[in-house]
């Protein structure tokens, strides 16, 4: 089932201690998202 497949995938990723691969820096995010921030 889908649940079994997702559980297996999740277990494998957790065992590999995978992290997030950010696609842009915090500075880039600040520039891109500036209109959403209240100053």
pLDDT at 38 over 80: no
Cα four-point dihedral sign 16, 7, 24, 39: negative
pLDDT reported for residue 6 = 96
* Average of per-residue pLDDT across 6-25: 88
Q: From its phi and psi, is residue 18 left (phi > 0), alpha (psi between -120 and 50) or beta?
A: beta
Asked if residue 32 lies in contact with residue 24, where contact means CB atoms within 8 angstroms, the answer is yes
Q: How does residue 20 score in pLDDT terms, banded at 50, 70 and 90?
A: confident
User: What DSSP assignment string belongs to 1-39?
Assistant: -HHHHHHHHHHHHHHTT-----SS-HHHHHHHTGGGS--
Q: How does residue 3 score in pLDDT terms, banded at 50, 70 and 90?
A: very high
pLDDT at 37 over 90: no
pLDDT reported for residue 23 = 85
């Amino acid at each position: 089932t889908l649940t079994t497949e997702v559980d297996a995938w999740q277990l494998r990723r957790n065992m590999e201690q995978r992290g997030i691969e950010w696609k842009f820096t915090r500075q880039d995010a600040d520039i891109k998202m500036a209109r959403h921030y209240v100053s």
